[in-house]
Amino acid sequence: MISLDQILDKTELVLIDGSIQSSKEGGDQTNRQVKAKFNPHNIQEKIKSVLYLGYALEHQNALTTPEIIQEIGAYKRKIMHHRDYLIKHSPKDYERQAFYIPHANHRKLQKTIDKKILLLSSLIKAVNSTYEKAVLRSFKPEEIGFELLANTIKAISISERVKKKEKQELDSDERLLATAYWAAFTTDIKPAVVTADFDLVKLNRAMYSTLPEGFKRLKKAMSKTRIFFGNSDGYKQITDLDRSYSIHSDIMMSRVCSYLVQAHELSGLSLV
């Protein structure tokens, strides 16, 4: 295991994944799932997680992507929605909506609600701070070849069902990985990706396993990209690029090859 500080100290470019966002959190949910995700203990843990992300983004060699920043912004809006609901409704409303286990003593329940509102306000403050740092560390390659590479990874992700169905519309993982690959391909840098999301590990494996033969320079760049999976307790470099993935659809394989050929021809860079 290796610490975040060690990765940052030893790596010229570190791409930071934002693991604070979940497609099932907050929003308009008014059920026991929201109660569980936003109980006081979980909120305190989320504050630590957000501040940890902000700490990572303070480093000059740490970058993130516009898509991660959008997720942080969406997360903030969901927290604010939940806090505003708590402020506007009475304890009876919470009991009726199953936000809490019903209390006979509404005064006691109101104290719990007030504590939760304060914690959510602290979480919003932490998210604001991290969001501002992320904006300053945002990076997106402008070349057409990068966009085609990102499309390639997205196509493989869908073909191999790397992510759950409800997450397939999101492309932050694909574009974060494409940014790392592109940096490795266009420079001498050996970038690292730091994540707590195993989807990125699976996506890297799928891309490495299914890349059509002939794109040797691109595969070499991919092999230079290191994926570190874990959390604040430590990270493990994923070196097992098993070949359990393969594109079975001829149509999808044709699409992947088309993206890569266009990237090869339009970028002015040889992928083969």
Write the DSSP string, 171-225.
-HHHHHHHHHHHHHHHSS---EEEES-HHHHHHHHHHHHHPPTT-HHHHHHHHH-
Q: Which amino acid is at 193?
A: V
Residue 23 has pLDDT above 50, yes or no: no
Q: Do 172 and 251 share a structural domain?
A: yes
Q: Do 121 and 191 share a structural domain?
A: no
Q: Count Cβ atoms below 10 Å from residue 188 Cβ, excluding itself.
A: 8
Residue 1 lies in a domain: no
Distances (CA, A) of 123 to 41, 99, 137, 271: 12, 19, 21, 44
Residue 245 has pLDDT above 90, yes or no: no
Please report, rounded to a whole number, the percentage of residues in the chain having pLDDT higher than 90.
42
Residue 104 lies in a domain: yes
Provide mean pLDDT across the span 105-109: 68
Of 89 and 21, the structure prediction assigns the larger pLDDT to 89
Q: Do 248 and 168 share a structural domain?
A: yes
Last residue of a domain, one of 136, 161, 190: 136
Provide mean pLDDT across the span 129-138: 96
Q: Do 192 and 112 share a structural domain?
A: no
| pLDDT for the residue 132 | 97
Q: Do 149 and 111 share a structural domain?
A: no
Provide mean pLDDT across the span 240-247: 59
Residue 32 has pLDDT above 90, yes or no: no
pLDDT band at 30 (very low <50, low <70, confident <90, very high): very low
Provide mean pLDDT across the span 236-260: 63
Q: Which amino acid is at 40?
A: P
Domain that holds residue 181: 144-266
Q: Do 132 and 24 share a structural domain?
A: yes
Of 71 and 98, the structure prediction assigns the larger pLDDT to 71
Residue 6 lies in a domain: no
* Listed range (1-5, 117-121, 194-198, 237-241) with the worst mean pLDDT: 237-241
Total structural domains within the chain: 2
What is the per-residue pLDDT across 152-197, written as a single tens digit (0 to 9) for each?
A: 888 888 777 777 765 656 789 999 999 999 999 889 999 999 999 9
75 in Cβ contact with 20 (< 8 Å): yes
Provide mean pLDDT across the span 32-46: 70
Provide mean pLDDT across the span 46-60: 94
pLDDT band at 235 (very low <50, low <70, confident <90, very high): very high
Residue 21 has pLDDT above 50, yes or no: no
Of 239 and 266, the structure prediction assigns the larger pLDDT to 239
Last residue of a domain, one of 86, 109, 136: 136
Of 169 and 234, the structure prediction assigns the larger pLDDT to 234
Q: Do 262 and 150 share a structural domain?
A: yes
144-159 and 198-210 helices cross at what angle (nearest 10)?
100
Q: What is the CA radius of gyration of the chain?
A: 21
Q: Do 206 and 106 share a structural domain?
A: no
Q: What is the DSSP letter of 165?
A: G
pLDDT band at 241 (very low <50, low <70, confident <90, very high): low
Of 97 and 223, the structure prediction assigns the larger pLDDT to 223
Q: Do 179 and 111 share a structural domain?
A: no
Q: Do 160 and 52 share a structural domain?
A: no
Mean pLDDT of the chain: 80
Say how far apart CA 28 and CA 267 lie, in whole Å.
43
| pLDDT for the residue 24 | 36
Last residue of a domain, one of 136, 164, 185: 136
Say how far apart CA 237 and CA 240 lie, in whole Å.
9
Say how far apart CA 86 and CA 105 lie, in whole Å.
17
Residue 270 has pLDDT above 60, yes or no: no
Residue 271 lies in a domain: no
Q: Do 151 and 75 share a structural domain?
A: no
